[in-house]
Amino acid sequence: MGAILSTRLPGWMTQAGLSVGAIGLALAASRLGRIAIIPAILHMVSADRWAGRGALAISVATAFALLLPFLGFSERGWLAVEMIAPALIAALMAQLDWLSLGGPPSRLDPLTYGVRRAAGSAAFAIAAVGAGLPNGAYAVAWMMGAGFFVMILTGIAIDWGFGTRLPHTVPPTTKADETQPAHITGLALAAILIQTSSGLYHLTPILWVRQGHGPAAVGFLWGLAAASEIGFFLIAPWLCRRFTDWPRILLILGGAGATIRWVLIASTASLPLLALAQMLQSFSFGASLVGTLALIRDHLTGRARAQARAVGINQGLQTGLIPALSLAVSGFLLQALGAESFLIMAALAMIGTIVALRSGNGLKRAV
């Protein structure tokens, strides 16, 4: 469902009569709300017996939000979808990341987490490509109707898979195996900057359509980006065995990849070069995500609710604060500067990379 909303929702909002500037403001408001919404949701669902029920509640609320444009709300309906559904989907993804941090039913081990995350990336890639194919008068209704049932089934599946189990059975780290990370503040700042450098990325469907690419090409590009994550997640175990300070190395790779990616998008309309830029999502998203979650895991081992809040705060900052600030003006920047507005993202990623480089080693403990 995230793939469908990412690739098609800006276009549907345009068709409903909203200007690019208004869409930018709507996306900004949606992301600004995540700063408080996601940590609060994760704090609530981290209580006993709420891991599965919380996911089901989030999924059901998302499902019904998708139907608002078809209940006579027109433009306001699409604005409501943007304000509600993406934030709840981001909260659901943050909950899954939190549940992977330690203990039953899964553990954020780079040797196994990458395989699980690769499966999610594959699903996103397939959905993104498929989302670009339907056209016609009833395409939107069919896609959102399908999304309604997908979200209901997602909530049921998570509730059934996790139930009341929480990742709180991991014993606290002892002094014998605990090594305090160096320069954690710098690495945390680098992670925030690199992950949130994607603030304008959600306007690429509008940009690429203006450059002459159709919905199928937009879906292909978004699908290719998700597919590239699979390759990274599969090589992540090798990287983590190779480098003792692998969280920092992953953040450096993520920042460098993001910088190159946004520069390419800002400077070309060529489909092959845009495809190359999208393949760099394996670093701009995949590497920075695993590195960030590793920092959270190793600092808050054995503290489930603290982990939940930390993952929620990271998700809120990553998909909320900086994207909100950038998206508040991005629609107007896109109108005024076109593709060159994406150089702002490159600058954020470059600063994050420099901060990671200057932060010294991250975790000096082999996995």
Distances (CA, A) of 314 to 186, 234, 288: 15, 24, 12
Task: Mark 59-73 as b/e (b = at least 16 C-beta within 10 Å).
Answer: bbebbebbbbbeeee
What local confidence, expressed as pLDDT, does residue 179 receive? Answer: 42
Q: Whole-angstrom distance between the N-terminal and C-terminal Cα of the chain?
A: 34
Show pLDDT as tens, one digit a residue, over the chain (367 residues): 887 887 788 778 888 787 777 777 777 777 777 777 888 887 777 766 677 788 888 899 999 988 888 886 666 788 888 888 888 888 887 777 777 655 443 444 545 566 666 677 777 778 877 877 777 767 888 888 888 998 999 888 877 776 555 544 444 433 333 444 446 778 888 887 887 777 677 778 888 988 889 888 888 898 888 888 777 877 777 777 777 777 888 889 999 999 999 999 999 999 999 999 999 988 888 788 777 777 777 666 556 666 666 777 766 666 666 666 666 666 676 667 777 778 888 998 999 999 988 876 544 443 3
What local confidence, expressed as pLDDT, does residue 113 receive? Answer: 60
Tell me whether residue 360 is exposed, middle or buried, using C-beta atoms within 10 angstroms of its C-beta: 0 to 12, 13 to 18, 19 or more.
middle
| Tokens 């998008």, residue located | 265
Answer whether 317's CB lies under 8 Å from 277's CB. no
What local confidence, expressed as pLDDT, does residue 237 receive? Answer: 72
Model confidence, pTM: 0.63
Residue 259: CB partners within 8 Å, gap ≥ 6?
346, 349, 350, 353
What local confidence, expressed as pLDDT, does residue 190 receive? Answer: 86
* Residue 17 CB coordination number (10 Å): 10
The residue count of the chain comes to 367
Answer whether 46's CB lies under 8 Å from 37's CB. no
Over the stretch 257-316, which tens digit does the pLDDT of each residue have?
999 999 999 999 999 999 999 999 888 887 887 777 777 776 665 566 666 667 777 666
Assigned token pair, 85: 């559904």
Dihedral, 6, 10, 16, 20 alpha carbons, nearest 10: 170
What local confidence, expressed as pLDDT, does residue 256 receive? Answer: 94
Helices (H) and strands (E) in the chain, counts: 16, 0
DSSP sequence for 41-98: HHHHHTSTT-HHHHHHHHHHHHHHHTTGGGTTTHHHHHHHHHHHHHHHHHHHHHHHHH
Question: Residue 361: what residue type?
Answer: N
